[in-house]
Amino acid sequence: MSGGNRDSPIRIALVAGESSGDVLGASLIEQLRLRYPEAQFAGIGGDAMRGAGLETWHDADDLAVMGLAEVLRHLPRLLKLRSALRRRVLRWNPDVFIGIDAPDFNLGLERWLKRRGIRTVHYVSPSIWAWRENRAQKIGRSADRVLCLFPMEPPLYARHGVDARFVGHPLADSMPLEPDRSAARALLDIPMHAPVLAVLPGSRLGEIARMLPVFLAAAARVASRISNLRVLIPAANEQCGTAIRDELQRHPDIATQVIVLDGHSHDAMAASDVVLLASGTAALEALFAKRPMVIGHRIAPLTYRIVTTLGLLKTRYVSLPNILAGTELAPELLQDDCTAEKLAAAVLHWFEQPEASAALRPQYRAIHESLRSDSASRAADAVAQVIDTPAGSLR
């Protein structure tokens, strides 16, 4: 069904469900427009994708639901939205449908469309290398092609006969190979010689509630050993800022040394000597900032017992720097080990052993370079191949 009349403009449908996907989608649209100047773009996106020329049928915020309770509460609305959207996409008959991340929403939509002859691409592979590699086969039933941010992902898909392409990581492209520490400190009004700890407890309220108290307790211990310590805590949004400031009131022993920033997470990392963070994309950002880090993470006790008892986690490490390096570049203090005492000791190691920090930088730079590849352009090339390949010739 897909492909239509080549005398008509190329039609590209896209769905992105949160801010990071919106940014990815905008860059992809800009690159695809260079290849198809008359192309039409429609689907679900946010301000960035609208600015790039997407006709938005729904806003990305309509899909931005986090947490099990929230998902259950919004499930009827989300199912209704997906049902209406898939019919609208089918009527529009695009040359390709691109689901950007949001796998719980997009993979089912892609599978339905693929069965009806619409070519499908999934941009940002779910973490099959960490959890269930066999899921690759299921993803292949949804997507004609998977665009991967990490080089270890396509070989896993290949074992299951799925066409996956490494396109690089957009953060690796956008963050400099050599971060400017002096410029970051000047921007944030931090003295050049002051010791600085950046603390990133997460960008969601649940993460902040779970991780910030122990992170602040650890920071207080570090401050008792490191004179004139500054602690930078970037807040992802106004709600997160309020939650951070509320928690600070319970920690008078460190509160006067804390600066809460509105955003500026990359600047906070670049300005810091050490980063203390919860696992996630922030760990990769700290690697790109070339800063030594300590990773502390806790999940619900029942979830942790299920994961460990059933052996669901397939990697030795949980953080991307360690997974990509295949060795422990950053200490991971998880669950019962995630205590103020252990976190503080790990942070102090980096402050007190500058030669250890210096030894990390070439390893961080090598990983950064391996992920840097003009990702938006490569992703657009991979999509264009899907569009331009004759019907029945896709792998």
* DSSP single-letter state for residue 145: E
The tokens for 381 are 């090339």
Identify the pLDDT of residue 67. 44
In whole angstroms, what separates CA 212 from the centre of its chain? 20
Lowest mean pLDDT among 129-133, 259-263, 379-383: 129-133
Map out the domains of the chain as residue ranges.
Answer: 11-168+373-388, 181-371
Q: Confirm whether 11-168+373-388 and 181-371 share one CATH topology.
A: yes
Instruction: Give the separation between CA 111 and CA 124, rounded to whole angstroms.
Output: 16
Percentage of residues in the chain with pLDDT exceeding 90? 73
Distance, in Å, from the CA atom of 199 to the CA atom of 258, rounded to the nearest integer, reads 10
Q: Which residue has the higher pLDDT, 247 or 236?
A: 247
Q: What is the mean pLDDT of residues 110-119?
A: 96
CATH architecture of 11-168+373-388: 3-Layer(aba) Sandwich (3.40)
Reply yes or no on whether the pLDDT at 151 is more than 70: yes
The answer, yes or no, to whether residue 3 has pLDDT greater than 50, is: no
Query: In a 3-state reduction of DSSP, which class is residue 234?
Result: strand
pLDDT tier, 66 (very low <50, low <70, confident <90, very high otherwise) = very low
pLDDT tier, 307 (very low <50, low <70, confident <90, very high otherwise): low
- The predicted pLDDT at position 308 comes to 64
pLDDT digit string, tens, across residues 207-237: 899 999 999 999 999 999 999 999 999 998 8
Class for domain 181-371, per CATH? alpha beta
Please give the C-alpha separations between residue 395 and each of 39, 111, 119, 163, 251, in angstroms, as whole numbers: 24, 16, 12, 7, 58
**Closest by CA position to 181, among listed 194, 168, 171:** 194
What are 364-382's pLDDT values in tens digits?
Answer: 999 999 999 899 999 999 9
For 200, counting Cβ atoms within 10 Å of its Cβ (0-12 exposed, 13-18 middle, 19+ buried), the class is buried
Residue of higher predicted confidence among 132 and 3? 132
pLDDT value of position 315: 65
pLDDT class for 205, splitting at 50, 70, 90?
confident
Q: What is the pLDDT of residue 206?
A: 85
User: How much is the mean pLDDT over the chain?
Assistant: 90
What confidence tens digit (pLDDT) does each residue in 317-376 have? 888 999 999 999 999 998 889 999 999 999 999 999 999 999 999 999 999 999 998 999
d(C-alpha 154, C-alpha 105), whole Å = 22
Decide if pLDDT at 150 tops 90. Answer: yes
